[in-house]
Amino acid sequence: MKKIQRTQSGFTLLEIMVVVAIIGLLAAMIVPNVIGQGEQAKVDIAKTNMSRVVQQLDMYKFNNGTYPSTEEGINALVERSASARKWPEGGYLPNVPEDPWGNEYVYISPGVDGPFDLYSLGADGAEGGDGTDADISWRDSNN
């Protein structure tokens, strides 16, 4: 009778520890570059959305001779205001947009730096701030 020799296969503890160490090193290099990208993406979305609103504000001015007043606000692009002489079917925008953090954009007309100011208060929803909490002007997307 022949004896069948069985061999065990698998990983040793040392091999597993080496793989875990390599994964840890890779994570230490990659994770810091990925964290924070979500907030930066929201800043970029805010700038893009504001550019779209600015285009419609310019169209409103082209059709009506002036930009909406501060009191009329961006809502003048959604619902016809009393000062609007021309109004496209469906309005200029389907709804009043919010910034990526769920806050309304701030619209002031006349503005400090031009015919109007349009900005987001950033992630913190308050004036000022640093980083993603900083105010974001539509002019920032042109720089």
Domain ranges for the chain: 38-142
**How far, rounded to the nearest angstrom, does the alpha carbon of residue 61 sit from its chain's CA centroid?**
26
- Greatest CA separation for the chain: 104
Instruction: Sheet with 136-137: list strands edge to edge.
Output: 106-108, 117-120, 136-137
Query: What's the whole-model pTM score?
Result: 0.69
- Looking at the domain 38-142, which fold is it? Glycoprotein, Type 4 Pilin (3.30.700)
Mean pLDDT of the chain: 83
Return the pLDDT at 142: 55
Beta-carbon contacts of 121 under 8 Å, excluding residues fewer than 6 positions away, are 99, 103, 106, 127, 129, 135
β partners of residue 120:
136
Q: Which 8-state DSSP code applies to residue 67?
A: P
The Cα 27–Cα 12 span in angstroms is 23
Token digits of residue 17: 């520890």
| Residue 32 pLDDT exceeds 60 | yes
| Residue 90 pLDDT exceeds 90 | no
